[in-house]
Chain A
Amino acid sequence: MSLITPAFGQIFWGGLVFLILLFLLAKLAWKPVLSAVKNREEGIRESIELAAKTKAEMETLKAQNEELLKEARIERDKMISEASETAKKMIAEAKEEGKAQQAKIVEDAQKVINAEKAAAISELKTQVASLSLEIAEKVIKGELASDDKQKALAEQIANDISLN
């Protein structure tokens, strides 16, 4: 039956055309398409990998940043507390010193005052003594101006002494 009998002409032309088609299309389409698509697929895969890697890197970077920030915050707190402590200490020291200075000044002043007082008192004493002498001289001069008076005085002194 001719339906299932292979015909030489068709096999000849079919084979020939198919082979020409195979070589032409391999050159025109299959090879460029497959290599370009393969490169594209590799590019896509690499891009995805790169994106994942970048994301991971970003995560680490973020974590690092946070760590740094935390450290910085701790440092800052430490610095602030240290500064305030120092300030307090300085103020206290200044106060202490001030007090000491003040006490010393007061002491010195008292010493000076005392010295001046002493000097004044001694001078006053000297003045009082000299004045007393002058007065006594004048009084004695007046008292001893007449014999009666000298006599009275002598009597009085004698009385005083005897009384003692």
Chain B
Amino acid sequence: MATILRSTLLVFLLGVGVISKAQHGHEELNHDAGHEHEEVQTDEHHEEEGGFDALHHVMDAHDVHLWGEGESSFSIPLPVILWTDNGLVTFMSSAFHHDDAGHHVVNRNGMNFVKSHGKIYQLNQGAEHAEFDAEHHITNAVKPLDISITKNVFAIFCVAIIMILVFRAVGKQYRGKEVADAPTGIAAWMEPMILFVRDFSIENIGEHKYVKFMPYLLTVFFFIWFGNMFGLIPFLGGINMTGSISITLTLAAFTLIIQLVNAKGPFWKHIFAPPGVPVALYPILVPIELIGMFVKPAALTIRLFANITAGHIIILSLLGIIFTYKNMAWAGLAVPMALFISVLEILVAFLQAYIFTMLSAMFIGAAVDDGHH
């Protein structure tokens, strides 16, 4: 019964996901029509010409946009936190009144701020309005250090809270117990996943050393998996947290740091004095090995970022067909295809979490290998 309920819910969510994305696109259409007579060059104006800009929807934003367009938008405002030359400035993103073209000026602590292309600019002293060059870049402003709670940061918080709630409930069944009982409820769902991660970690790191790295590998696996799945939930303004290069870079950096901190002699020897290689080749090989050390986390970064972002772009582009041709009939083609990709994305969500974690374990395993097999 519970299984049927779960699958029904899943199908429902997927269906709604497609519809919600369709609605989102539809609003674009409305907005495009409404702004046709406006003379100002806005960011959205590009969409009007191109029909639909999927890239715009996979990028970070200062609010979680739910529905509506322009001044009539409904979005969850998020705190803007800026570190300027005059200290910390905080205000809610709703102060920009949904403007993303650099027109609405917000005055705080005697400084003027505008938002353009999802970035916040601090206007130069004395400037009252943003000035743009031919490519619509602001010329009379600087970018303050932005540590705002953006859409992606909001998603990070949500994923973290979900993970804490889920795994606190899971852990409750095991805490204070010498020997675990058969898991029930949510632990029965998560224990196989935890053991799956543990098992491939043992395979890559080794029976005697894996325990130390399990907290990191488990956290990174579930963080990516939950983050990927969170990005597939509709009605949440197209969250693309794990498709943000900043996040994937951060995670890959953690892997690199753990790898370097725990690296044993043979790892360094392999880089600086590759065994079985003539010394004459060292000047070529050592730089290559050194680059290789950093290429691995770079590959982790780009793989996850590209896979998740690509999935979002494909779905958005398929649904964008409807708005590009401005004809509902295209939905007959676009919606089933988007549904197919959405289902595929559920697989990709898991797969990418697995690949990232497995490769991290492999890199750590190679670093901690002390040559005694």
Q: Residues on A close to B: CB < 8 A?
A: 2-15, 17-18, 20-22, 24-26, 28-37, 39-40, 43
With A2-B118, A30-B214 in contact, is A10–B247 under 8 Å at CB? yes
Q: Is A14 a contact partner of B179 (Cβ separation < 8 A)? A: no
Across-interface contacts of B171 in A (CB, < 8 A): 28-29, 32-33
Pick the residue among B60, B164, B214 that contacts A34 (CB under 8 A).
Answer: B214
Q: Is B153 a contact partner of A14 (Cβ separation < 8 A)? A: yes
Is B21 an interface residue, CB under 8 A from the partner? Answer: no
Q: Residues on B close to A: CB < 8 A?
A: 55, 58-60, 81, 117-119, 145-150, 152-153, 156-157, 160, 163-164, 167-168, 170-171, 174-181, 191, 194-195, 198, 211, 214-216, 218-220, 222-223, 244-247, 249-251, 253-254, 305, 309
CA distance A39 to B119 in the complex (A): 52
Q: Is the interface of B mostly helix, strand, loop or mixed?
A: helix
Across-interface contacts of A21 in B (CB, < 8 A): 160, 163-164, 219, 223
Which 7 pairs show the lowest CB-CB distances between chains A and B? A36-B180, A10-B246, A29-B171, A26-B215, A29-B167, A36-B174, A32-B174
Closest chain A residue to B179, Cβ basis: A39
B172 to nearest A CB, angstroms? 9
CA distance A152 to B101 in the complex (A): 211
Across-interface contacts of B215 in A (CB, < 8 A): 22, 25-26, 30-31
CA distance A96 to B254 in the complex (A): 111
Q: Is the interface of A mostly helix, strand, loop or mixed?
A: helix
Across-interface contacts of A29 in B (CB, < 8 A): 167-168, 170-171, 174, 218
A24 to nearest B CB, angstroms? 6
Q: Is A33 a contact partner of B191 (Cβ separation < 8 A)? A: yes
CA distance A64 to B275 in the complex (A): 61
CA distance A24 to B219 in the complex (A): 10
Closest chain A residue to B180, Cβ basis: A36
Q: Is A5 a contact partner of B245 (Cβ separation < 8 A)? A: yes
B203 to nearest A CB, angstroms? 16
CA distance A125 to B199 in the complex (A): 133
Q: Is B218 a contact partner of A25 (Cβ separation < 8 A)? A: yes
CA distance A39 to B247 in the complex (A): 36
Q: Is B219 a contact partner of A30 (Cβ separation < 8 A)? A: yes
A29 to nearest B CB, angstroms? 4
With A2-B119, A6-B246, A34-B214 in contact, is A28–B146 under 8 Å at CB? no
A43 to nearest B CB, angstroms? 5
A10 to nearest B CB, angstroms? 4
Across-interface contacts of B254 in A (CB, < 8 A): 15, 18
Q: Is B219 a contact partner of A22 (Cβ separation < 8 A)? A: yes
Q: Is B219 a contact partner of A33 (Cβ separation < 8 A)? A: no
B287 to nearest A CB, angstroms? 25
Could you jot down 5 A-B contacts, CB within 8 Å? A8-B147, A14-B247, A18-B220, A30-B218, A36-B179
Q: Is A17 a contact partner of B167 (Cβ separation < 8 A)? A: no
Across-interface contacts of B194 in A (CB, < 8 A): 30, 33-34, 37
Q: Is A13 a contact partner of B174 (Cβ separation < 8 A)? A: no
CA distance A28 to B195 in the complex (A): 16
Across-interface contacts of A40 in B (CB, < 8 A): 179-181
CA distance A35 to B179 in the complex (A): 8
Across-interface contacts of B157 in A (CB, < 8 A): 17
Pick the residue among B117, B168, B216, B250 that contacts A14 (CB under 8 A).
Answer: B250
CA distance A36 to B222 in the complex (A): 20
B209 to nearest A CB, angstroms? 14
CA distance A8 to B247 in the complex (A): 10
With A34-B198, A40-B179 in contact, is A14–B156 under 8 Å at CB? yes
Closest chain B residue to A39, Cβ basis: B179
Pick the residue among A18, A32, A35, A43 that contacts B250 (CB under 8 A).
Answer: A18
Pick the residue among B175, B195, B219, B309 that contacts A37 (CB under 8 A).
Answer: B195
Across-interface contacts of B81 in A (CB, < 8 A): 9
With A8-B145, A14-B156 in contact, is A2–B59 under 8 Å at CB? yes
Pick the residue among B117, B119, B177, B211 that contacts A36 (CB under 8 A).
Answer: B177
Across-interface contacts of A7 in B (CB, < 8 A): 60, 146, 150, 244, 246
With A4-B245, A37-B191 in contact, is A28–B168 under 8 Å at CB? yes
